Amino acid sequence: MDHIIRLLIIDPDLNDAEKMISALKSAGLAVRPQRAADAQDLEDKLRDHAPDVILCTLGQPQLPLETVVESNRRMGRHAPVIALTEAPDSDVVECLEAGAHDLVHKDRFDHLRHVVARAAAHQQQWRQLKACEASLRETERRCKTLLDNSRDAIAYVHEGMHTYANSAYLELFGYTDEEELEGIPLMDMVAREDQPALKEFLRGHEGGVPPDAADGDTQEQVLELQLTRADGTPFAARMEFSPATIDGEPCTQILIRNRSNTRELERQLNYLAQRDLVTGLYNRQYFIEQLQRTLGRANQGKGNASLMELRIDRFGNIREAVGVAGGDLVLADMGKVLEDACGEGDIVARFDGEAFAILSLRWEQADMEAFVHTLLEQIAHHICDVEGRSITCTASVGVARVDENAPDVNELLSRAQKACEQAGRQGGNRMQVYQPKEGEMTQKQLDETWNERITAAIRDNRLHLLFQPIVGLHGEGGERYEVFMRLLDEHGEAVSPAHFLPSAERTGIAADLDRWVIDHAIERLAVQRKAGHETVFFIKITAGSLHDPQILPWIMERLKEKRIPAQCVVFEMKESTVVAYLRQAKEFVKALRSVHCGFALEDFGNGLNPFQVLNHVPADYLKVDASFTRNLASSQENQETLGRMTDTAHTQNRLVIAQQVEDAASLSILWGLGINYIQGNFLQPPTESLDYDFSTSG
Task: Spell out the alpha helix ranges (H) of 460-602.
Answer: 497-507, 510-530, 543-546, 551-561, 575-580, 582-594
> What distance in Å separates the CA atoms of residue 463 and residue 453, rounded to the nearest whole number?
11
| 503 DSSP assignment | H
DSSP code per residue over 174-194: T-SSGGGGTT-BGGGGB-GGG
Per residue in 537-579, pLDDT (tens digit) is 999 999 888 888 888 889 999 999 999 999 999 999 998 888 8
Decide if pLDDT at 182 tops 80.
Answer: no
Out of 166-170, 500-504, 552-556, which region has the weakest mean confidence (pLDDT)?
Answer: 500-504
pLDDT digits (tens, 9 = 90+) for 578-624: 887 888 899 899 889 888 899 999 989 876 567 888 888 899 999 99
CA distance 315 to 47: 39
**Rounded alpha-carbon distances, angstroms, from residue 433 to 421, 430, 477, 480, 600:** 11, 10, 56, 48, 40
Beta carbons within 10 angstroms of residue 162's beta carbon: 21
Residue 311's DSSP bridge partners are 355, 396
∠ CA 594-595-596, nearest 5°, is 90
Between 244-248, 415-419, 502-506, the lowest mean confidence (pLDDT) is in 244-248
The whole-angstrom separation of Cα 177 and Cα 198 is 25
Q: How far is CA 17 from CA 10, 23, 59, 104, 395, in A?
A: 8, 10, 15, 14, 50
Position 419 scores a pLDDT of: 93
3-class SS at 445? helix
pLDDT confidence bin for 112, thresholds 50/70/90: very high
Q: What is the pLDDT of residues 32-42, one digit of tens each?
A: 888 888 888 89
